[in-house]
Amino acid sequence: MVESAGDPQESGLAREAGRGRHARGGAPRESTGFVRWLGETAIIVVSALVLSALVRAFLMQAFYVPSASMEDTLAVSDRIIASKITTTMGGVSRGEVVVFKDPGDWLPDPPPPAEGWRGMLQSGLTFIGLLPSDTGNDLVKRVIAVAGDRIACCDAQGRILLNGTPLDEDYIIGPTDQVLFDVTVPVDGVFVMGDNRGNSRDSRFHLEVASGAVPVDDVVGRVVLVLWPLSRIATVPIPGVFGEPGVAPPAIS
């Protein structure tokens, strides 16, 4: 009968050869594993950066509040989140706090960007959404009236009249009658004002161009969240006064 086991001497030689191959191949296998890990990590990082940039471009973007024009709703140095998808899908509504691009000479010339590697790093991190935008070309105000609305300042109690209805704005720092006006918001425009009415160079001070309206195309997005500092985390809802009867003009049938 033939035994199934091989020759003991041959088996020993095979084991020695196996150990030799393992010993000789150990370093390359470790190197290959490190390279594979490095490649996978790079793919994850690049994918995360691309995803962050896409979110910033199409869904939401972080901004920095530089002034007191929106107090007490927004404070100086607040980090806020503006929803772009909300504006893209639903347009701009009365009562929303929005970020918009300077429509023309509302702001002084922005300071020059940082130079060298710091400027490049800051620009890169802002582009992918890891730093809030602070270009000096963006403003944040509340939309008081939209296209077709008639807005005037003010009634005997100093209140804004929107389509003939006085607005009881409990969210503002008044008074609001620094400029007297009576205008109709043009097509594709919105009339914006700061909640800190005594410290806001808003639509009231730019009536000579489009009755002070900001083009809807210049609106970046609706502010939905105060993200930082942690003590001020809060949503930014539309005040109930904008849902009262008479604020919106009747639809034309």
Catalytically annotated residue among 83, 133, 141, 203: 141
- Counting every residue written for the chain, the total comes to 253
DSSP symbols for 83-121: EHHHHHHH---TT-EEEEE--SSSSPPPPPPPPHHHHHH
Ramachandran class of 30: left when φ > 0, alpha when ψ lies in -120 to 50, beta otherwise: alpha
Is 231 tagged catalytic? no
What 3-state DSSP class applies to 55? helix
Count CA within 13 A, CB hemisphere, residue 224.
Answer: 15
Is 47 tagged catalytic? no
DSSP for residue 68: S
Catalytically annotated residue among 69, 200, 203, 211: 69
d(CA 219, CA 86): 11
Q: Tell me the residue type at 49.
A: L
What 3-state DSSP class applies to 22? helix
Tokens for 143, please give them: 């939309």
CA distances 140 to 81, 100, 136, Å, are 11, 6, 11
Preceding peptide of 182 cis, ω within 30°: no
Ramachandran class of 129: left when φ > 0, alpha when ψ lies in -120 to 50, beta otherwise: left
- Tell me the catalytic residues: 69, 141
